[in-house]
Structure 1
Amino acid sequence: MRPRRVAMPAVVIGVLVVGLFGGWFAAESLQSPAQVAARAAPPVPSDIVARVTVGELVEQVTARSEIARESASSVEVVLPGAEQNVVTVSGVPAGTSLNSGDVALEVNGRPVIATTGAFPYYRDMAEGDTGPDVEQLQRFLVSCGYRTGGIGQFGPQTAQAVRQLYRAIGHDVAVREAPALPDAESSDPQSAGLAATFDPGTGEFTAGGPVEPALDAVSESVAADRRIVVVPRSELIVLRSLPVVAGDSPAVGTVLTAESSTLTFGQGPLVAHAKVAVTVLPVLAEGMPVVLTGADGTTVDGMLGPIPTPVTVGGEPATEVAVPLVTGAIDATWLNTNVLTVITVTAVADQALRVPSRAVIARSDGSSVVQRRDSDGFFDEIEVRELGRLGGTSAVEPVRAGGLAEGDEVKVE
């Protein structure tokens, strides 16, 4: 009979636990209509607020701008008649100045000299030759400070000037066997006592004047050797003016062909052209402010130049155009780079308080207010002047000083 007494309390406890659980389950499962309606009602909406910020209110377009020289030109090196033409010295490094008489590069160990003129040389010139090409060569030599003694005829003094030029760049002149000697009475004005002098002020030769000594010790030796000076056209490149800034050129070891013998040069200050999508052109106008930012973070201010008309390439409309920019001086380290360019299309305000436009409430009397949340969570109306709107944001200023500040929260309707 003792075991039955022990089991009875356990049974009683179990019944109580089951009863309590059943009651809780019934309370949760069985709800009155009022309780159901209360649970189905939407929550009380909370206020939507936005933080007041400070800054510009502008519409901007970003682009990339190419930095290059104001003008560019290219020259093809005339290839000598060798079986193979190889660049043996690269000459002036890209980005540095190429001056009159400098060696642009060397091909097969021979120099290619930068000269000025109106046209490329069309033949090899030698002592005794005449013609416009000889005159152009003489004008170039005079511009370098050498005496040529005459105009239009390659005489002994012109030959001596060529020797001096080649000596200055560390090369020997090219020579060849002279033709048979002419009669003693020569028609060469350089040897017959007639000379022309060059006036740097006018750029013209004038007849008359004393004749320079025809030959020095070196030219006498060459004359006795029956050899004459030759200037191969493959050793001259012609540019409209010098100096220029060297651009791309073939590297040492390049075997030159008609396709790989081009040298590029730039002149003038650095200029920028913004690459802009054609779809953006309708919102752009000449004079809009721009800011260029280099890789090092430095900036250059400027403005848009004339907006070009899109062109057609291969029958298809171009997708972008290059818009010239008017800027201040651009650092030389930016040459041949692409820099970030920000174009300001619309400027509403500079360093103003900014709020969502929906936070600005217009009153019937023409004034405007925003609702600022105070430290207790309540909203106070602050009268403001709306300076302008852009893209759903308004620039405002409080009518009363200190009424609104950066970091305040305003109610958005």
Structure 2
Amino acid sequence: MGNSKKQNTRTSFVALLGGLITAVIIAVTSLALLAAVGINNFQATQQPAATTPAITVSAEKGAVEETVDVKVHSLRDASVTLTGASLGAGVVTSPTLPVGSTIKEGDSILSINEKPVLIIQGETPAYRPLGPGLKGDDVAQLQEFLVRENFKHWDKKGVFGASTALALAKFYKERSLPVVNENGEPTTSLRQAGLPLSRYFFAKSMPLEIAEDCGPAGQQAADFKCVLQSSATSTVISSSADRDLQGMQVLLTRVSGQPVAATVGQPTVKQQATGPKEADAAQEAAQPATERWFSLTGLPKDSAEFAENARVVVQTSAKDGLRIPATAIHEDANGQSFLQSASKTDSGEKATTNHPVNVLFCANSYCAIEGEKLAAGMEFSVLE
């Protein structure tokens, strides 16, 4: 009986001890697992963050253009004011034409002492009588007028020779006018025909319209004054840029979409634009006070209407030169420009290489560049 109790007691103790050992093992295992997970999480938090790849751009072949935006205007040619200062003494003997009348080249705008005064197209103003032996642009203008009137001559351009005198004499005869010399004196020698200063005006463009009342017949020639407005128009440009654009190329566009190239001419003044006055006033109010106006040369003779906006090319680089976005241009402490490309060291570590570069100029987010060992397709990092 005593032995049986002892046996039961020993069995209970062994069972209790086994349970304690099992609990300790489970606890130790759990702590080990928790420690492992914590270490892994700590290591994960200590890993470097993923780096953002560097942004690169490529050098490429192509021109860089610096341009200035300009406005295109279609303006009437300047008005012409004719006065009696060159007409000499006399009286206006023909009734003057009413306002709005059209004057064509070769027409008589008035008569002084019953002698008609002609109007001829020409840039150079009338300032002297024209006759044999004279030379100059005014002589060339008279010759060109005679040719347009189908009176040919064989003299050298700008030289008033016998052939020019004969052509002028034939013109007089066809108009039933007396043949006169350069002083206005009648002559029987056709080779002495001339054009007195009191018998002609030069006007830059034809035809013209009488813009103001020229006064009545019977007035003294010295009091004569007549304002004529050209019906011809010129294409000009205006710019708010404070720079001289003369001699530069301007790129225009016809309203049909066709591009047209011309050259910026001499500075000019604003003149009356064609179109409704209300539109002109609104346009004038919107224009900056510092606006500069330029004429154009080299436009096709058949020029139609142009789009309102155009570009003047200030400078351009070679078409086969290199260009790169301006964001790739770096500059060191000494002001030297360079491009930066990615490279690797001998041990395989990442590095960068600087390439000295000569920046010609930058425009429209691109720079024209030159440099040794630079070629189209090479990639360079942009400024961070």
What TM-score range do you get, normalising by the shorter chain?
A: 0.3 to 0.5
Normalising by structure 1, report the TM-score. 0.42
More helix by share: 2
More strand by share: 1
Normalising by structure 2, report the TM-score. 0.44
